[in-house]
Amino acid sequence: MQSRSRWQSAFILTGLLVAETVHSAPTSTQEATTSFKTQYPPSAANARLLVAETQGYYPTILEREGHQLQKPTPDPKEDPYRFGGFLNNVYNPVSLLDDLLPGILPATSEKPATSPVATPAPSAPLHSQETINGPAETTPSPTTAPNSISVPVSTSSSSTSSVVSQPAKTQDTSTPIEPSPSTSTSMPTMVNGQDVFVPVSTGPIPGTVKSRNDHPVPRASIMNNTDPIETNKFYAGLFLGTQTNTTFTHPYGIAWAKGNGNAKSYGIAISHIEVDKLALGPKNDKIPGSPVQYYVNPIGIQSIILSATELKDSTVLMTENPLPFSANAVLQPQSGSSERITFPVVQGMGFVTGIYSNLQPVIQSSVFFSKVVSAGSPRAGIFKYTVDLADGTQWLLYLTPDDGKDPNLHLESTTNLRGPPGWSGTVQVAKNPSGTLGEKLFDNSSGVYATQGWVKGAVSGETGTYSLTWGKEGKDKGGTPLMMYALPHHVESFDKTTHDRLTNITMRTTTKGNATAVIGESWSMVEQNLPVGMGLAPWSVSAGSVDTISPAAQKVIIDVAPTELQQDVGNQSNLNSMYFSGKALSKFATLVYAVDKLGGKPDLAAPALKDLKTAFARFIDNKQQFPLVYDNVWKGVVSSASYDGGDSGADFGNTYYNDHHFHYGYFIHAAAIIGSLDPSWIQGNKDWVNMLVRDAGNAATNDPLFPFSRGFDWFHGHSWAKGLFESFDGKDEESTSEDAMFAYALKMWGKTIGDASMEARGNLMLGILRRSLHNYFLMEADNKNQPPVFVPNKVTGILFENKVDHTTYFGANLEYIHGIHMLPLLPASPYVRSQKFVKEEWDALFATNAAAPAEHVQAGWKGVLYANLALIDPVSSWNFFAQPNFDYSVIDGGATRTWYLALAAGLGGA
């Protein structure tokens, strides 16, 4: 029914628009007098010297800035908290990119790039036997609101006008990820539930944390703004380093051309990559199905460039009004010029829009124009052109002059389409994958553009609702509908009202399947079956929270626990790393909880709880090896490790805002357990823990000290880990399980301190994560959003905005790649990792006759694998950890045998 309803809605809407019997905005009774005129590029003397740049570059190198070659699973046998020497199999094949394009790897603002570790060179793009060669001339570098479709990744162009809606696949029989039922009424207003965006505080931070004004990355190329900056959001390439790396809005990518390419332009280049341009890594024959190691989209393709005659080598790019879902990219002929082009850069924007102020527009292409047609006016005052490029793609241009006069663009060459001097108005660009039917929909929304976005959300019972609302400007904005693109996880969860506004236009995104165009300024999404009853005890979909385990299991746990209770939490957490220190505190907190509540021995746990509080106090007092500082440049709390000439990769790049949701999530989780066991501890420590919440997952948009939701991206449905490092491939995420850990930590800390909004926010984030991880990261056999040749890998490895690489930053062993998406094993693990997925992954990779049998894995990763096994086979997991003469070397320094036994028991293992 959902499929039929969606198709009928799109068909009726398209048909009426094509027939011009319905309009969403007033239309002129008389079309503008612009005549339909076709222009072809004149022949040029140098035409044979230039080749259409249709291939781009393939950045296969794993950029290691901010990532030391260090595993996130320390070995307790080493001093004080490191893994032993089994990092012996890190691959390091020759990189094709470095051979082809020496010297173009991006560097941080202050230091040259550290030596990258190469990944194997890609195969040719899909359905192509050509050698990958970069064009010789191009050198790119790398909020809260105010008061299921599954599209296959085909082997041909996957941007299409056909839409077939399917119900979302269930994760397993007991934990369905449900699409919002399209036959129901629209979602209830969110004021009926608990608002998830009530700030914990916007006041001062604890006095033990001192401020500094000398962050290693200066705050450059950002206009008139002293507010907190979103360090981990999609548009950081606009202001970091060379400022030439792509900003991925999905489905479009935009980048400052900065004099590169055939057009030698200084405008903003627009690209959209079809599946036939993908390059694939080598096959891994060890894994069933022989999946490719990675796939990568090309960068540097300049399909359409919005520029101006005045933009030359003195041009500057500035970022204006950076917000959670948007920022303005501003090009000026010189610094301080009043003439400018402003590009509102918004996630999911349907058009790329340039707002010109007193400049002569030049619309360019390094792919080459083959034909430009002046195509009349969809409404009075808007002038339309259709553009055919040499690669066979068709694009639409819509110009809206402030003076209402025909701009009469002139095609001067294969690269330049020039307008009148001193021009002010908007130029909009859209790629049209859908022929005449799609063109009418673009016409209908031309003239208006998104300017920013807001999110609001609420939880009522086990149902979460959230909305994304888009600001809109442009001609006739009151009556002209906005067009935006939604990702697959959005479409699956749309309520009926939003679902009915889906169109039949789909465009491929770089790493998230196909985006679908939606008409309207607001989307509403529904997440059912939130884990509101989940607590600190083991949890399963079928049994819920399991607070009591069998006497036999209790006895085993209490017999085992003293060995680990005697470990020195003070020493294990006294490290030069917030990440490893947080893991140690979280580890001991789960150990104490397991003995106290599940083992029923609070007296046995009491000394370790006291030591845990003492160890935690070191951080409250800011007396750790590298104290935290408040960074007054970008606005956030960071490790001092990389200041004063320190390594940018120290503590996994914490000073540069890498991985804050991982690092601080472990502290928040530990605090939630301590506070639940001893409520008197909360009052003296709450402000410090809430400081970490504000830094990594702030609910406030008006906090003067921290940005909104630094890590978690409410558009993408998961967090981004990369901070202030320039990157060819945009932001990335390596550990989905630690992402879920952060959401779970927020939930539990909120519950512990009585903050209902924070608890609800954690629950909603977990619900959204479960859906987005299922769609993009944890790939079941029927996954439709990743290329079929990649799906048998089962997990993505590192998912970037531009590529997906089945590896890690610290090595390529299968237990590393998959284990980093498992740890830490917590009550939330069975919620976000479906039984169907876990079984497919285990059978393919870690079962006895699989690619990397768990019984042969060494050191702490072995414990991680067998703890994960409890999600589908708790008996075998229990038997592994309960065996006599247990080898503790298989328990990594961030976990305990005691907790793993408790987890397996709670899931039915004993």
The per-residue pLDDT for 517 is 98
Question: Quick one: angle between helices 435-445 and 2-19, nearest 10?
Answer: 80
pLDDT for residue 574 is more than 80: yes
Q: In this structure, what token pair is assigned to residue 466? A: 């959230």
**Is 738 among the catalytic positions?**
yes
Marked catalytic residue, from 492, 495, 734, 892: 734
What percent of the chain has pLDDT above 70? 82
What percent of the chain has pLDDT above 90? 79
The predicted-structure confidence for 676-722, as pLDDT tens digits, reads as follows 999 999 999 999 999 999 999 999 999 999 999 999 999 999 999 99
Domain ranges of the chain: 243-446, 548-907
pLDDT for residue 16 is more than 60: no
What confidence tier does 170 reach under pLDDT thresholds 50, 70, 90? very low
What confidence tier does 36 reach under pLDDT thresholds 50, 70, 90? confident
- Domain 548-907 -> CATH class: mainly alpha
pLDDT for residue 575 is more than 80: yes
Q: How far, in Å, CA of 98 to CA of 79, rounded?
A: 37
Find the helix or strand (DSSP H, E) in which 38 lies.
Answer: strand 37-39
Q: Assess contact for 844 and 288: CB atoms under 8 A.
A: yes
Q: Assess contact for 599 and 555: CB atoms under 8 A.
A: no
The CATH number corresponding to 243-446 among 1.10.3720.10, 3.40.50.880, 2.60.40.10, 2.70.98.30 equals 2.70.98.30
Same fold, 243-446 and 548-907: no
What confidence tier does 26 reach under pLDDT thresholds 50, 70, 90? very low
CA angle 576, 827, 902 (to 5 degrees): 90
Marked catalytic residue, from 527, 564, 659, 759: 659
What confidence tier does 44 reach under pLDDT thresholds 50, 70, 90? low
Q: How far, in Å, CA of 778 to CA of 504, rounded?
A: 27
Q: Assess contact for 422 and 357: CB atoms under 8 A.
A: no
The predicted-structure confidence for 326-364, as pLDDT tens digits, reads as follows 999 999 999 999 999 999 999 999 999 999 999 999 999
How deeply is 154 buried, as exposed, middle or buried, from its count of CB atoms within 10 A (0-12, 13-18, 19+)? middle
Mean pLDDT of the chain: 87
Q: How far, in Å, CA of 883 to CA of 674, rounded?
A: 30
pTM of the model: 0.88
Question: Quick one: angle between helices 736-753 and 660-677, nearest 10?
Answer: 40
Q: In this structure, what token pair is assigned to residue 111? A: 């230091």
Q: Assess contact for 352 and 428: CB atoms under 8 A.
A: yes
Marked catalytic residue, from 738, 739, 759, 892: 738
What confidence tier does 190 reach under pLDDT thresholds 50, 70, 90? low
In 3D space, the residue among 370, 352, 341 whose CA is nearest the CA of residue 267 turns out to be 341
Q: Assess contact for 779 and 795: CB atoms under 8 A.
A: yes
Q: Mean pLDDT lowest for which of 89-93, 626-630, 654-658, 779-783?
A: 89-93
Q: How far, in Å, CA of 615 to CA of 631, rounded?
A: 25
The count of other CB atoms within 10 Å of the CB of residue 280 is 20
Q: How far, in Å, CA of 785 to CA of 724, rounded?
A: 28
Q: Assess contact for 255 and 244: CB atoms under 8 A.
A: yes
Mapped onto helix, strand or coil, the DSSP state of residue 910 is coil
Q: How far, in Å, CA of 840 to CA of 838, rounded?
A: 6
Q: Assess contact for 230 and 321: CB atoms under 8 A.
A: no
The per-residue pLDDT for 74 is 60
The predicted-structure confidence for 816-840, as pLDDT tens digits, reads as follows 999 999 999 999 999 999 999 999 9
**Is 659 among the catalytic positions?**
yes
- DSSP-assigned beta bridge partners for residue 507: 515
The per-residue pLDDT for 336 is 94
pLDDT for residue 390 is more than 80: yes
Strands (E), 120-212: 194-195, 210-212
Q: Assess contact for 874 and 546: CB atoms under 8 A.
A: no
The per-residue pLDDT for 224 is 81
Average pLDDT, integer, range 770-776: 98
Q: Mean pLDDT lowest for which of 107-121, 291-305, 602-616?
A: 107-121
Q: Supply the DSSP string of 378-427, one letter for each residue.
A: SSTT-EEEEEEETTS-EEEEEEEETT------EE-SSSEEE--TTEEEEE
What confidence tier does 117 reach under pLDDT thresholds 50, 70, 90? very low
Output DSSP code: residue 181.
P
Average pLDDT, integer, range 56-72: 82
Average pLDDT, integer, range 270-278: 97
The per-residue pLDDT for 182 is 38
What confidence tier does 146 reach under pLDDT thresholds 50, 70, 90? very low
In 3D space, the residue among 873, 799, 883, 809 whose CA is nearest the CA of residue 841 turns out to be 873
